[in-house]
């Protein structure tokens, strides 16, 4: 589905042979994740990925992640590294490369305060949509993000260099925002 596409409840009910209640519940979940806008009596519309919307969403990341990396960096342990590497593998199987947001999501979930994981979890579907576009358009940009995560951020965390990791995660967030906005400019 593309931004602006209409999704009709009756069409999904017939195509999937499910109840209207199930489809409505699914619509509510998708709406809470900001993937669709439900229009009463008309179904739903896939939300658009406007540059202003992406900028609003990405502006939240440094605030969340600076605190997460600050807290995790000083007490980094091997099981945390394993969780991050596992998320990188899953990301590679899904996108063909490492989506930095998958790594950042894992960092949030490793934090003792579950709120960080919940906050970023709601943003993941939107980030995945933009990252998929980025992958299709710009392999070089994807490779620079991959290098920032693999070669710089993860080693800084493993070495418990908290200040370096904070700087790198801030740089990663700015780079993600810039790449996402460039991608949306090219694709609309």
Give me the architecture of the 6-46 domain, per CATH: Orthogonal Bundle (1.10)
| Tens digits of pLDDT across the chain (188 residues) | 677 888 988 888 899 999 989 988 988 888 887 788 888 877 888 887 778 878 888 888 899 999 999 999 989 999 999 999 999 999 999 888 899 999 999 999 999 999 998 888 878 888 888 888 888 887 677 888 889 999 999 999 999 999 999 999 999 999 888 888 888 787 76
Beta strands 43-46 and 6-7 are antiparallel
What is the DSSP code string of 56-80?
Answer: HHHHHHHHHHHHHHHHHHTT--HHH
Contacts 24+ apart (CB under 8 A), 32-38: 32/122, 33/122, 33/125, 33/126, 34/122, 34/125, 34/126, 35/125, 35/126, 35/129, 36/7
Is the whole-model pTM more than 0.85?
no
CA 84 distance to own-chain centroid: 15
Task: Parse the chain into domains and list their residue ranges.
Answer: 6-46, 51-187
């Amino acid at each position: 589905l593309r931004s602006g596409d209409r999704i009709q409840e009756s069409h999904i009910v017939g195509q999937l042979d499910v109840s209207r209640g199930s489809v409505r519940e699914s619509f509510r979940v998708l709406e809470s994740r900001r993937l669709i806008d439900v229009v009463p009596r008309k179904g739903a519309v896939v939300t658009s990925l406007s540059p202003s919307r992406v900028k609003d969403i990405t502006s939240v990341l440094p605030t969340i992640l600076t605190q997460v990396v600050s807290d995790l960096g000083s007490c980094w342990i091997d099981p945390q590294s394993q969780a991050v590497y596992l998320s990188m593998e899953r990301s590679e199987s899904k996108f063909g490369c490492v989506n930095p947001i998958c790594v950042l999501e894992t960092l949030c979930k490793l934090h003792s305060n579950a709120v960080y994981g919940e906050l970023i979890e709601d943003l993941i579907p939107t980030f995945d949509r933009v990252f998929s576009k980025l992958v299709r358009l710009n392999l070089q940009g994807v490779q620079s993000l991959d290098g920032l995560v693999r070669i710089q951020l993860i080693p800084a965390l493993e070495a418990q260099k908290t200040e370096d990791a904070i700087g790198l995660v801030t740089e990663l967030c700015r780079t993600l925002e810039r790449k996402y906005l460039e991608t949306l400019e090219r694709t609309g």
